[in-house]
Amino acid sequence: MKLVGERRAIAAAVLVFYAFAYFLVSLQAPAGWERAFGAMGGVYALGFFGLVAGYFWARWYAIGVGLSGLISAAVSMWQMGPEPVLIFVGATHAAIALSLWGNGVASLFDGQEAWRARFHMDENAVHRLGKAVIRIGISLPYVLLYALAPKAAGGSDALIAVTVLGLAGAGTWALLRLRTWGLVALTGAAGVLGVQAAGGLGRVHHLAAAPGAPMAAISALIATVMLAAAISPFVRPMLARLRA
């Protein structure tokens, strides 16, 4: 499939559209949701900037964000039916992933030899890193929604949310810098999210007073699954190295 530059431009245009849309929504969001929507705008802005700048991880990350939006649209359509706005959201996010798929676009980003030589990456290592970054791109919006959704006053949820956000953010940065401790941070974030998801889903009916409780619990569950999936490609190589 040709039209490499055009496909890159389509993905970048969709990402910047959602970045502006979320930033505008954050200015008129219901009380307590301003930070969550603003952070979501940042997710898309990062993808747009990465694509334009040509960072080696940008294609993987943008594909993950596109798949994340597609998953959200599909779940929403399952709950509410094929509303036109949900179809639009699903189609445009699918366009991000499809536009960036394939070796042609990869040659502009992760297919470049310079960064592989710099970090001494063979094909298997690149493949593992790519799968991890895509899954982080899927999980990041859910991590932010969990961490920044309105919380019940007087509880420990806010502190836990900040901890998860810090671990996930630091782990993602470290993974993109190919630092091993990033996997530890992501594992910690996934573990805390897993505990919160299990507890939150078990007592959602008791948390009706907290406006974002159901969404936070579901977001925590999806983020847990995807962060665990992001870590999984590295488990076998790490165990093999420990046994050596």
Return the pLDDT at 140: 87
Q: Provide the pLDDT confidence category of residue 90 given band limits of 50, 70 and 90.
A: very high
- DSSP 8-state class, residue 195: H
Provide the residue count of the chain: 244
Pairwise CA distance, residues 134 & 225, whole Å = 13
Q: Provide the pLDDT confidence category of residue 208 given band limits of 50, 70 and 90.
A: very low
The answer, yes or no, to whether residue 19 has pLDDT greater than 80, is yes
Tell me the mean pLDDT in the region 81-95. 92
Return the pLDDT at 127: 87
Q: Provide the pLDDT confidence category of residue 200 given band limits of 50, 70 and 90.
A: low
Pairwise CA distance, residues 43 & 225, whole Å = 19
Q: 220: Cβ–Cβ under 8 A, 6 or more apart, which residues?
A: 142, 146, 193, 194, 196, 197, 200
Ordered by start, the domain boundaries in the chain are 1-120, 122-244
The answer, yes or no, to whether residue 236 has pLDDT greater than 70, is yes
- DSSP 8-state class, residue 117: H
Lowest mean pLDDT: which of 24-33, 74-83, 115-124, 228-237?
228-237
Query: Token pair of 86, please?
Result: 């949900």
Return the pLDDT at 156: 61
More confident position, 210 or 106: 106
84 φ, ψ (degrees, to nearest 5): -55, -40
Q: What percent of the chain has pLDDT over 90?
A: 28
Lowest mean pLDDT: which of 10-24, 143-157, 177-191?
143-157
Return the pLDDT at 68: 92
| pLDDT, tens digit (0-9, with 9 covering 90-100), for 126-154 | 888 888 899 889 988 888 887 787 766 55
Query: Token pair of 84, please?
Result: 């036109």
The answer, yes or no, to whether residue 216 has pLDDT greater than 90, is no
- DSSP 8-state class, residue 221: H
